Structure 1
Amino acid sequence: MNSRMIGRRSFLASTAALGALALGGGTTGCAPSSRARSTAATAGGLPLTAVNRTGRHAAEPVYMYVLGVDPATGAQGHVTADGVFVPCAASDNGPDGFTDYAIPFRDSGDAAVALPKMSGRVYFSIGDRLRLKVVTDGNGRPALQYPAGWVATDPNHRILHDWIEFTHNDAGMFCNTTAVDMFSIPLAIRLAGTRTQTTGTLVDGGRDRIFAAVSAHPDFARLVVGDRLRVIAPGHGIEAGLFPADYYDSYIDAVWDRYRGTPLTVRTDAGTYTGRVTGEHLSFSGGTRAPASVARPSTRDVLFCDGALAAPNDGVTGPVAAILGAAFNRSTLLSHASQPVTDPARYYREGVTNHYARAMHEAAADGAAYGFAFDDVAGHASYIQDGAPTSVTVTLTPF
């Protein structure tokens, strides 16, 4: 993976700050700190404006939450409406057991805040406030439970919500929309700075197109929650018993059979590697340092880009695993013995493929989406960055 990216892989794992935002439903520790407002995190606030253009939900209250980690202290917390980062504390929980970190939208239809230098997420909810709770982790530190809309027992399951991910630091602003876990509210980012960039905008009727495309496939239809409240990613569908755990197995078997006798070439920034299957492993040679062999993945490994396809930040095995993970999700391994395939017209053409990710890309105005964690391979993720940002706008686009 390109080191500049803050996609799902690096967003959750590359630093302690980003790693604090574990996949939903988990708790993440806040480094010990005072409750004093952080001057270090407040310096260099970037104007962030959120605009409600949903139309159908124009009369319902909309709330924004800026959650993340102060890089100066490692403390996890939230940003107040006046642009100040405040570490989380158990005392933040109210009588109902949940915090109130919401920044309400104004009557004008928008919300604004000066974004401190930090890494985190900007959540949005429509119609109700999110149920966020500060708990204590195994080390006795405050920890914030994030929404997990794909879990039926999560207190936010019936609340319409979604989020973007970002890192704002001395190097600039790095941000993306994401459907790695789920899709619900169509969000578009406009980043101004050395130039103006946008991502996340859907084609007209894009939200309906996504739900229709997922619903049309028998194996994926059960991923739609409620009356088009959200659609969850197929990996989480396996966990919830809504998606077949062996969905990719026949494709994986075919890939393993092919590359027992045919070499697979994988090109990375660190060199070009040639792989062949021996037993249950795909072993590579070439370059100055050969990557570790890759074990036969499971369907879950493919959809989560984890397990056998986990991408360590080692510059060798990591990029190879990422490229293989993308190729499995895009189903290009049987048709192309040289990876990565960069032409999106070649993606999702097999019967067994990630139709959830395909739906996200087909509905995107620029074709970019984060439909799975390795979707940044070959530059197809809904990610933008700027080294000298002046403002960022997130629009909740029409339903």
Structure 2
Amino acid sequence: MRTMRRLLRAAATLLLAVPAILTAGTAAQAIGPNLLPMTVTNSTGRGDAVYLYVLGVNLSTGRLGYVNSAGTFNNWPAGGLPPTPAPDVSIAGPGNGGSKVIQIPRGLSGRVYFSLGQRINFYLTPDGLVQPAPWAGGDSNRDILFDWSEFTYNDSGLWLNSSQVDMFAVPHAVTVTGATGATKRTGDLVAGGRDAVINGIRNQAGWGGSIYTRGDGTVLRVLAPGKAAEAGGLSSTYLDSYINSAWGAYASKTLTVVPFGDQPNTKYFGRVSGTTMNFTNSAGQQVASFQRPTSADVWGCAGRLAAPNDLVVGPISRTLCAALNRGTLGTIDTQPSTNAADFYKNNPTNQYAKIIHANMVDGKAYAFPFDDVGAFESLVHDGDPRAAGIVLTSFTGGGNPQPTGNRIISNMNNKCVDVPSSNFTDGNQLQMWTCNGTGAQNWTFVGDTIQAGGKCMDVAAGSLANDAKIQIWTCNGTGAQRFTLNAAGDIVNLQSGKCLDIQSFNSADGAKLIQWTCTGSSNQKWRRG
């Protein structure tokens, strides 16, 4: 099992935070090029000059440094106290409508920063790099429009994500292309998504201080709630009432944590005594203990929710933090909850994460440190990458306009085949929904598979029976995922010989999709549009 984590450094030192890869088993054989080409595309619609920075840690030496335009890693020179200006290591980026190829050397974990209009100011201490922190008073980057993506490239492949953990600023998507030529992409906003996020936050009582606008009227960023609270723009106790209620619920019932999707029998059981939640394993042995967290602990998944890099306490902490950010702790007693329809229903709730996810084409974002619990993060990964990309997308339009002809439309009700809540978790049953142009309805026919969000339409358990659910599932080449759209408008599973069917002729949004003996009826007739 491999997963991406953010290594959060002590806030006081403001050292560069980088993702890392947790690996189990033997070391992987090196694949992919030694220098991975990454294309940065400028589709912002803005005329600003763009500056790029490739910064990170050499995984072999542990040294912090930067990568030049040729893809060579260089250690940072020694810094001082007070921090001394770092040398300018910016790479000239592309103008609007253009692209720039940079090189990512294998064995590097870090960030690609991009700024518009001005270079970013970096500083060095004897311990390393001081990263920009525009939420901190006096930070010299406060009036600069910039953002970043995070990556790790090692012998096991590439992990690349767009990050909103600290702030939402420059809309951008990330891509990776593997040895087969297939490209994965995530991070795209819906049309008007940047403004929708900004205005959505502004319209929430108490959240207006999260938005920072430059003197010329440019909205530079929306701060994540933890950073907004640090800057005095959000109440430091905003989430406390929910935390207290959710935590206290387990004084009278048991919380079950199943932290590993591939190990369903590994379970931990939590009960609260006073303000402490104690966890036992299946043998009844106590394995972890957590004090009731504060709002700051939840926003940052830190403090009382700090997650060590182990196989027990860390995974439990990650699960708790995700549940508290999503508002499912206290009401859903087996965690993690992976039904996005259950998220952010509590009051108060994490409006920042809620609004950002709602404005992503595929519903995925990295809106808090452990948003990867349940695979809701905006991450692309390939074990044998050949190319990668960062697309600086439109500040007003949709980042990745969907091509025409990729919807699957019912002849019965003119609604679209849809992945519920844009939740691409394996096993999510497909439904019908009013056509809306989102990635949840963007289907491509690849060979004899039908794919959305990088996964495949699938008959549950490869069933041959009527009423078997039609779901989204990781593509695996089995007969359960082999479909054809014939000239009669039937979508037929080639293994079962049965048709894609709207259950019970239900014409409402949310109607479930199943397979059924082909009858020629209107609830089995489809077209692309």
Q: Is the 1:25–1:146 Cα contact (8 Å) retained in structure 2?
A: no
Check 1:147–1:25 CA distance in 2 against 1; reply closer, same or farther (3 A cut): farther
Question: Could you report, residue by residue, the CA deviation over 1:108-133 in whole angstroms, capped at 9, with x for unpaired residues?
Answer: 72221221011110000000001112
The amino acid that maps onto 1:73 is: T
Q: Structure 1's 25 and 293: CA in aligned 2 closer, same or farther, altered over 3 A? A: closer
Q: Secondary structure at the match of 1:151?
A: coil
TM-score with structure 2 setting the length: 0.66
Structure 2 residue 391 is the aligned partner of structure 1 residue 395:
yes
Q: CA deviation at 1:97?
A: 3.7
Quick one: which of 146, 151, 155 aligns to 2:131? 146
- Counterparts of 2:13 and 2:53 in 1: how far apart (Å)? 17
Cα distance in 2, alignment partners of residues 27 and 267 from structure 1: 33
User: 1:203 is matched by which residue type in structure 2?
Assistant: V
Matching residue's letter, 1:273: Y
Q: Distance in 2 between matches of 1:28 and 1:172?
A: 22
1:207 aligned onto 2:194: yes
Q: Percentage identity across aligned positions?
A: 40
| Change beyond 3 A, Cα 1:64–1:280 | same
- 8 Å CA contact 2:248–2:275 kept in 1: the answer is no
SS in structure 2 of the partner of residue 192 of structure 1: strand
Q: Give a deviation string over 1:221-248, Cα, whole Å, max 9, x none.
A: 1100114210111111221111111111
Rate the CA distance shift 1:351–1:81 in 2: closer, same or farther, 3 A: same
Equivalent positions of 1:330-369 (< 5 A) are: 330-369=326-365
After superposition, residues 113-124 of structure 1 pair within 5 angstroms as 113-117=102-106, 118-124=108-114
Superposition map of 1:65-104 within 5 A:
65-90=53-78, 97-104=85-92
Residue 272, structure 1, aligned to residue 290, structure 2:
no
Tell me which of 30, 51, 75 is aligned to 2:41: 51
- The answer to whether the 8 Å contact 2:152/2:159 transfers is yes
Secondary structure (helix, strand or coil) at the match of 1:391 reads strand
Give 1:17-32 correspondences, 5 Å limit: 26-27=14-15
CA spacing shift, 1:112–1:381, aligned 2, 3 Å: same
* Residue in structure 2 matched with residue 259 of structure 1 by the alignment: 250
> In the aligned structure 2, how far is the partner of 1:212 from the partner of 1:25?
33
Q: 1:346 to 1:112 in 2, by over 3 A?
A: same
Please list every run of 5 or more consecutive structure 2 residues that lacks an aligned counterpart in the other structure. Answer: 18-32, 396-529
Measure, in 1, the Cα distance between the counterparts of 2:307 and 2:192: 35
CA shift for structure 1 position 290: 4.1
Higher Cα Rg: structure 1 or 2? 2
Quick one: structure 1 residues 360 and 291, their matched pair in 2 at CA, closer, same or farther if it must change by over 3 Å? farther
Q: Which has the higher contact order (CA 8 A, sep 6+)?
A: 1
Distance 1:239 1:364 in 2: 26
- Give the deviation of 1:98 after TM superposition: 4.4
Higher mean displacement: 101-110 or 75-84: 101-110
Looking at structure 1, the residues matched to 85 and 245 of structure 2 have their Cα atoms a distance apart, in angstroms, of 51
Q: CA RMSD in A?
A: 2.3
Say whether the 8 Å CA contact 2:247–2:329 is kept in structure 1: no
1:112 to 82, 94, 101: 101
Unpaired runs of 5+ residues, structure 1, are 14-18, 30-42, 138-142
Matched residue SS, 1:11 = strand
**Structure 1 residue 4 and structure 2 residue 38: aligned?**
no
AA matched with 1:253: N
Residue in structure 1 matched with residue 155 of structure 2 by the alignment: 170
1:395 Cα deviation from its structure 2 partner? 0.5
Change beyond 3 A, Cα 1:72–1:267: closer
Alpha-carbon contact 1:99-1:134 (below 8 Å) kept: no
Instruction: Classify the secondary structure of the residue corresponding to 1:180.
Output: coil
Equivalent position amino acid for 1:153 in 2? G
Matches of 1:240 and 1:91 in 2, distance apart?
27
Question: Cα deviations across residues 172-191 of structure 1 (Å, max 9, x unaligned)?
Answer: 11111111111100110110
> Aligned residue for 1:244?
235
Displacement after TM superposition at 1:265 (Å): 1.6
Shift of 1:368: 0.6
Counterpart CA distance in 1 for 2:305 and 2:150 is 23
Structure 2 match to 1:222: 209
User: 1:133 and 1:257, CA in 2 relative to 1: closer, same or farther beyond 3 A?
Assistant: closer
Using the TM superposition, give the Cα deviation of residue 219 of structure 1 relative to its aligned residue in structure 2, in angstroms: 2.0
Contact 2:242 2:346 in 1 (8 A): no
Deviations 1:281-320 (A, max 9, x none): 1112233564311111111111111111111122111111
* Structure 1 residues 70 and 305, CA gap change in structure 2 (3 angstroms): same
Question: Which residue, 215, 224, 232 being the options, matches 1:233?
Answer: 224
SS in 1 for 2:269: strand
Q: Which amino acid aligns with 2:121?
A: R
> Structure 1 pair 153/205, CA: closer, same or farther in 2 (3 Å)?
same
Give the letter aligned to residue 339 of structure 1. Q
Give the Cα separation in 2 of the matches to 1:219 and 1:162: 25
Deviations 1:339-366 (A, max 9, x none): 1111001100122111001111011111
> How many residues are matched?
366
Checking the alignment, whether the CA contact within 8 Å between 2:162 and 2:365 is kept in structure 1 is: yes
Q: Is the 8 A contact 2:250 2:330 kept in 1?
A: no
